Amino acid sequence: MRSIIKVVFLSVIAMCLFLPSALADNSVTRIDGKNRYAVAVNAAKKSWTTSSTVVLVGKDAYADALSAVPFAYQKNAPVLFTNSTSLSTDTKKGLQSLKTKNVIILGGTKSVSGKVTTQLKSMGISVKRISGKNRYDLAANIAKQMKSSSTAVVANGFAYADAVAIAPYAAKQGYPILLTNDKGLRSETSAVMKSRGVKNTIVIGGESSVNKSAYAQLPSPGRIGGANRYEVAANIVKKYNMSTSTTYISNGFAYADAASGASIAAKQGKAFIFTNEKTLPKATRQIIGSKKITSFSILGGTSTVTNTVVSQLKNPVVGKKVFIDPGHGAHDSGAVGYGLYEKNLNLDVAKRLNTKLNNAGALTTMSRTSDTFDSLQTRVSKGASANADIFISVHANSNDNSSANGTETYYDKTYASANSLKLAQNIQPKMVSALGTRDRGVKTAGFYVIKYSKMPSVLLETGFVSSPVDSNILKSATYKDRLASGISSGVSGYFR
């Protein structure tokens, strides 16, 4: 009986030890739906139990939706979509569920037909329409329906993502979103800015979107640009220090989902960023890392934001900067044994680790990617220049006694001692488990690269090339891949 109690007790202890890691992954939820109409309705329900007013735009009228969010925010209304020719079934159900009494349609009858208006009225809903002769005129007419503001946002009327990215901030500040094109400042935009007494302008996008000529004609302009839509969105979050307690994220090309997300992000005063379908872009990873974002809400289904992206967002390593240093190189072969050259083994494992961590969502930098040599000082300097969160030096061991074998991890106490130890303790058991080698434990040593690197740093001795047992394991591509996975898992564990 005592032995049984002991086993149960130890099992409970083990659960307590491992459970926190499972619970410490980043929080990720998804707002989904079978189509864009359902996604918009489901998004609206996250912030509105009921909504007496709803702003409605046509399903493909993305330009009409660009200026919708700040206007809808002032009406305390979500933005929904409909088919252009008839009221979409999911939207109708959403309006009923929200107990909507008033609908404001944005766009002309080509975007939202008169039949939709008739259908809405038959539901006992009052309908108003704001239209314009083109997207620029519509944006200007929407601005005229908003409260006066001395500041306006200007974006390219065809760069949909730029306008959506700024929408939550613009909405909270009461700024209208006005449109232009890449040829110059549109007269409709210039006219409404003058009539509304706009004195300051926030320009979204680079010079390919809003050119120098248009920029020069704007009152007190300031530009937020970026190399791409992901960087523009990230720069907006950074510039205005937007709340990231829960960050909304959508595919940067799924404009309907993005507009729905911007609507509730504005309502909740949260940041909004973009991804692509299959993986988190670099700029998005960088803002996640710099802002230490740990809670996300995705807009759209798996066809627009895959589960691979979900896995990256959940992983605590997402956005973290990891410096990987394959030891030795070029003329410095390192240890040699049983046909293995340490420099080649280190590089092979490091490259695999680089791939694993990158796929997990990390931002990785390698000291070398080919058979080259850096001094120890240069390796440390490269890690510092990368502003790395952690430094991992990959090595293999050797001993005159061929019976020496096993895997061990070293750290130094000079800088970041506690976190270096934590990193070593997370990686070491994962390497041993992956390789099935003897566990030689975590040790301290003053190896140059970990002694002088100021971030948490470890040096990994994956196995002994001088051992017939270890060398046979380290020759295997399968085991090297498992080793890289193990190290990557240990890194994720460290950041939990």
Structure tokens at 67: 């200026």
d(C-alpha 279, C-alpha 309), whole Å: 5
> Which residue is listed with tokens 């991890």?
409
3-state secondary structure of 156: strand
Q: How many beta carbons lie within 10 A of that of residue 297, not counting itself? A: 22
In 225-317, alpha helices (H): 229-240, 255-268, 282-291, 307-314
Angle between helices 187-195 and 135-144 (to 10 degrees): 10
d(C-alpha 449, C-alpha 442), whole Å: 17
Give the residue among 474, 334, 476 at the shortest CA–CA distance from 393: 334
Upper half-sphere CA count for residue 160 (Cβ side, 13 Å) = 18
* CB contact at 8 A, 158 and 147: no
Give the active site residue among 188, 231, 342, 461: 461
Upper half-sphere CA count for residue 490 (Cβ side, 13 Å) = 27
* CB contact at 8 A, 366 and 379: no
Q: CA–CA distance from 359 to each of 294, 309, 477 (Å)?
A: 18, 9, 19
303 DSSP 8-state letter: T
* CB contact at 8 A, 477 and 1: no
> Which residue is listed with tokens 């759209």?
300
| Sheet (strand 177-180) strand order | 177-180, 151-156, 200-204, 221-224
* CB contact at 8 A, 383 and 323: yes
366 DSSP 8-state letter: E
> Which residue is listed with tokens 């002088």?
452
Q: CA–CA distance from 137 to each of 114, 173, 212 (Å)?
A: 20, 22, 22
State the maximum Cα–Cα separation within the chain, in Å, rounded to a whole number.
90
Length of the chain in terms of residues written: 496
3-state secondary structure of 294: coil
Q: Has 461 been annotated as catalytic?
A: yes
Structure tokens at 188: 């409709």
Catalytic residues: 461
